Structure 1
Amino acid sequence: MTGLEDDAGLAGKVAIVSGGGAAGDGIGNGRAAAILLARAGTKVMVADLDLALAQRTVDMIEAEGGSAAAIACDITRESECKRLVQQTISRFGRLDFLDNNVGIGSRGSVVDEKPEEYRRVMQVNVETMFLLSKYAIPAMIETAKGGAIVNISSISALRPRGLTTYTVSKAAVIGLTQAMAVDHGRDNIRVNCICPGPMYTPMVYARGNGMSEAARTQRARASVLKTEGTGWDIGQAVRFLLSGHARYITGQVLVVDGGVTLQGPERDSQDR
């Protein structure tokens, strides 16, 4: 062995992608990751609150000859996280990878934000990753003798910009990632985090003006590359971090933002 072999180690493995659906044929971060993993030979359990959206991702994977299954799951509930992992093992026989992709946005300061909204954002953006990992990690150890996890954060965690609750939740994702990496390295489980920058995804489309030329131009101008990111960019990063190419990478934060964080906040975009 020379150490130069191009072995991604993804074929024949099994992954859970939470938040793996998207409206229509839109490509969100989760759908992109699921499709790219399937193209590499990974079997994918696509979980989403909306079964129809998850099934559309599965249909897209199967149309390319890949293997996947859809499941409706509210991962804010511990019992649902447990069921998701159990159903994955029942369907595919093992679990190797987890893409913790669920998240919601929020705007406002501590003065403006309602406490119930703060709790909701923390529940969806942080607690879901805690709960799903709680059941996925033992399954990885038992069925695959290890594995890899990617948690999706945001560049808002690195550079606050008036989205206090969202920023706090995404910063907590980084802390959770690093703690899990330390706790479970001995179990042969790697845990890493991705911080996306401005992305053109279905969540952005839903904001009304997120599809406007002005909004798209703003996202592109925020990048030193002068282009906006897409779900495919995050999906490629997820696939890399789960793959054997990243075998010696754990507890790290990968910023995928086209260089947005290299520029001043006045050039930033409100979309993540």
Structure 2
Amino acid sequence: MAERMKGKVVLVTGAGSSGPGWGNGKAAAVLYAREGAKVFAVDYRLEAAEETAKLITDEGGICVAHQADVSSSADVQGMAEKCQEVFGRIDVLHNNVGIVETGGPVEASEESWNRVVAVNQTSVFLTCKHVIPQMLKQKSGSIVNIGSIAGIRWIGFPYLAYSATKAALLAMTSNMAVQYAADGIRVNCVLPGLMNTPLIREPLVKNYGGDIDSMISQRDQSVPMGRMGDGWDTAYAALFLASDEARYISGTHLVVDGALTARSA
């Protein structure tokens, strides 16, 4: 443990994993704790948040699990208030919640569009609405939004709503970074590329012929480094941006994709 986050309270949304293995949020929550942070782990499924919390406490860290639907303003307000009640402050807000649903404007239903926008985009608006006031009182804070390279480029097949919400995160990140710079609040965004996490397995496998092993192989081969990244690659990028090592960095969009976007530029 290097204790890069010692003394800090980190609120992680989407801190559970959607299936076996290490999702971005689960890895980030554990990494923050390993670096000395007290973690408030939030997930729509309480059991997923509790699994992450147990991993942290079993390693000697401090973590409290909390259930919330981050597309609900009442839930998000309660989440922020509970974190403040338990730990007394919020130093880092890590916005990790996201869902993937495929289809362009013709194939995707209105219900699917609205669902993805609510979970991926409105949730960030709500978490920032309810957490930033606490950071303003502290005159400090760091917000890390987890986006995707799907917000800046085509990555093989249409998933319009997902791409649109991830593009929106870039604008939201830049806007808030400027608005709150003088208040000591930094806002940055991590853009993972093709990642091997539990999130990709069910919603995307049909686009690769319906076979998980084939999907993983195809995605690995499409990356210049010859492999996908994983939840830890996203987590380490987020850790840097959240930490004081990045104290002069705000409004940045950090691409983490094994050179995939650079090859297409």
Q: Let me know the Cα RMSD of the aligned residues.
A: 1.8
Which residue does the alignment assign to 1:166?
A: 162
Which residue does the alignment assign to 2:172?
A: 176
What is the number of residues matched between the two proteins? 258
The 2-side partners of 1:207 and 1:166 are apart by 12
Shift of 1:23: 4.6
The 2-side partners of 1:26 and 1:226 are apart by 21
Length-normalised TM-score, structure 2: 0.92
- Counterpart contact for 2:3–2:36, Cα < 8 Å: no
Between the aligned residues of both structures, percent identity stands at 40
- Aligned pairs for 1:19-34 within 5 A: 19-23=14-18, 26-34=21-29
- Aligned pairs for 1:201-212 within 5 A: 201-207=197-203, 209=205, 212=212
The 2-side partners of 1:44 and 1:206 are apart by 29
Shift of 1:257: 0.6
Tell me the alpha carbon deviations over residues 192-248 of structure 1, each in whole angstroms, 9 at most, x when there is no partner.
Answer: 011111111111233484883322222211211112111010011111100011111
Return the letter of the residue paired with 2:143. I
The 1-side partners of 2:219 and 2:54 are apart by 31
Aligned match of 1:44 in 39, 42, 46?
39
- Counterpart contact for 1:8–1:243, Cα < 8 Å: no
Look up the SS of the partner of 1:199 in the other structure: coil
Aligned match of 2:141 in 125, 147, 151?
147
Q: 1:64 to 1:8 in 2, by over 3 A?
A: closer
- Counterpart contact for 1:222–1:263, Cα < 8 Å: no
The 1-side partners of 2:170 and 2:28 are apart by 20
Q: List runs of 5+ in structure 1 lacking aligned partners.
A: 1-6, 266-272
The 1-side partners of 2:212 and 2:168 are apart by 32
Q: 1:252 to 1:51 in 2, by over 3 A?
A: same
The 1-side partners of 2:61 and 2:227 are apart by 30
- Counterpart contact for 1:105–1:121, Cα < 8 Å: yes
The 1-side partners of 2:111 and 2:20 are apart by 33
- Counterpart contact for 1:196–1:256, Cα < 8 Å: yes
Look up the SS of the partner of 2:12 in the other structure: strand
Which residue does the alignment assign to 2:236?
A: 236
Task: Give every structure 1 segment of 4 or more consecutive aligned residues whose post-TM-superposition deviation is greater than 3 Å.
Answer: 205-211
Does 2:104 align with 1:109? Answer: yes
The 1-side partners of 2:17 and 2:165 are apart by 22
Look up the SS of the partner of 1:200 in the other structure: coil
Q: List runs of 5+ in structure 2 lacking aligned partners.
A: none
Structure 1 stretch displaced more, 22-31 or 129-138: 22-31
Does 2:138 align with 1:133? Answer: no
The 1-side partners of 2:196 and 2:107 are apart by 27
Shift of 1:141: 2.1
Shift of 1:147: 0.6
Shift of 1:91: 0.6
Look up the SS of the partner of 2:180 in the other structure: helix
